[in-house]
């Protein structure tokens, strides 16, 4: 039986899991897998084969996700280096390397619904035009000026500002 070290996007060190016969040849470094962690099935990244068989009762890898590794060897090396350099658990480094969607729990957690966003009323056309005029004027003068832009409320406004800049 093969054993693999898996890092989860939480503040713990990598853990070793057994690879069942059905997943032999599929599990490899960089792949996203599901395994039991603290009573829940959670996604993690395979760091590589474990060099030694750990003592005690070892949990199995439950599932492999995707067709190919999510992280290649240079990114795995970067994760290990960052963990060592910044004296941070590899799980925390991993959590900040990848988007949250890569690690949504597979089972055992209810999905949270986001509250609908409230839109503040404003005179969008007039204010957006005035702001874009100020940006254009600053660019034409070759002067350094900071602008704080709020996320546009429609794709048209975003397109308008990106086309100007």
SS3 string, 51-68, reads: CCCCCCCCCEEEEEECCC
What is the pLDDT, as a whole number, of residue 135? 74
Instruction: State the Cα–Cα distance between residues 48 and 160, nearest whole angstrom.
Output: 47
What is the pLDDT, as a whole number, of residue 127? 63
Predicted structure pTM score = 0.61
Residue ranges covered by each domain of the chain: 2-103, 124-164
Instruction: Give the tens place of pLDDT for each residue, 124-159.
Output: 455 666 777 777 777 777 766 776 665 554 444 444
CA-wise closest residue to 105 among 9, 4, 7: 9
pLDDT greater at residue 46 or residue 118:
46
Rounded to an integer, what is the distance from CA 110 to the centroid of its chain?
A: 19
Lookup result for tokens 């240079």: 74
- Give yes or no for residue 35 having a pLDDT over 90: yes
Quick check: 98 and 44 in contact, CB under 8 A?
no
Q: What are 86's two structure tokens?
A: 């910044």
The residues, any chain, with a CB within 8 Å of residue 136's CB and separated by 6 or more, are 164
- Give yes or no for residue 119 having a pLDDT over 80: no
What is the pLDDT, as a whole number, of residue 87? 92
- Give yes or no for residue 49 having a pLDDT over 60: yes
Q: DSSP string covering 141-157, please?
A: TT-------PPPSSHHH
Instruction: Give the tens place of pLDDT for each residue, 75-103.
Output: 999 999 999 999 999 999 998 888 877 77
CATH assignment of 2-103? 3.40.1440.60
């Amino acid at each position: 039986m093969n054993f693999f070290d898996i890092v989860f996007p939480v503040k713990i060190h990598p853990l070793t899991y057994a690879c069942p016969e059905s997943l032999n040849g599929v599990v490899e470094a960089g792949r996203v897998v599901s395994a039991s962690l603290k009573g829940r099935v959670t996604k993690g990244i395979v760091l590589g084969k474990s060099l030694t068989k750990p003592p005690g009762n070892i949990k199995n890898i439950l599932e492999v996700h995707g067709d190919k590794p999510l992280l290649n060897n240079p990114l795995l090396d970067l994760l290990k280096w960052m963990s060592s350099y910044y004296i941070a658990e590899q799980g925390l480094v991993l959590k900040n390397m990848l988007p949250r969607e890569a690690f949504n729990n597979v089972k055992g957690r209810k999905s949270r619904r986001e509250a609908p966003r409230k839109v503040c009323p404003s005179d969008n056309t007039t204010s957006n035009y005035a702001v874009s005029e100020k940006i254009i004027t600053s660019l034409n003068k070759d002067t350094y000026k900071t602008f704080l832009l709020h996320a546009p409320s429609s794709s048209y406004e975003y397109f308008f500002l990106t086309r100007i800049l």
